[in-house]
Structure 1
């Protein structure tokens, strides 16, 4: 469980930056048009924002999956030798035991799930077209997030940020305790 939390904290910024770029490229005039046609916020999200974001979400998931497979820092420190992780074992075979053949064989086993995930993602995304035709770019007149949603999202981000700060405070506190010995 700790390794999973560490992976989430480690790769959360990558997911955020990627998805922020995806969401910011969607034209706000599409939302304005939907609101003008009397759509509510949920309908705008499910009928416009989410379908146009699917390629970016799938790409983000693919990148995070591959990065999680290839990561050996978190598993090496947190799992250690209790839980053998494939990326750690491949690294140790190559650098620690100088067994290039075994390390390369383990690396191929890392490559296979990545290739399968890539092929599944391309097949899934390739079934539909994600093209919007817009005129000249303009700014949105309607703000699509209400005050309650803003505060809920702010609270969620605040909790996540406090959790990360707690992790760093724990590391700092542990360092102070060990320096006293």
Structure 2
């Protein structure tokens, strides 16, 4: 081949990986809901630093995590402050102080579920609530023909084991899997 010729890529012959980027939905608030026996998707709960022990006072904290229902009801995000919540606080709003060591324990519990589907070489913890799994070699083991099928099995396993809901992005590399996750969150 002449160096001026453009090489032709035959994509079908290129290696293809099945990477999952798994995110625990509203992780800190979900853990707090599950601990209280509440549904993490429907309960209005925020994890807030420096909450007041007195319900007559607003507190001065930063909201570290909000359940989906709290985000929707109060128009807040995970970077809101106590002043962004309606005051006096609504009766159905639960405010929890952060418990980082407990969240790390739950993270380890969830990652132990992931280890059933990918060995250490194919398992990478990205943050307290996100993990990447290369499940390329796991599909046949679990009777799956697509990564989407295995992702659903993992989601169900995590939810049954821990009560935590997850979302999954799937791609041929970590960047694409993360982009797919973020696109639909």
Structure with more contact order per residue of length (Cα contacts < 8 Å, sep ≥ 6): 2
Q: Fold-level match, TM-score > 0.5?
A: no
Give the TM-score taking structure 2 as reference length. 0.23
Tell me which protein shows more strand as a share of its residues. Answer: 2
Tell me which protein shows more helix as a share of its residues. Answer: 1
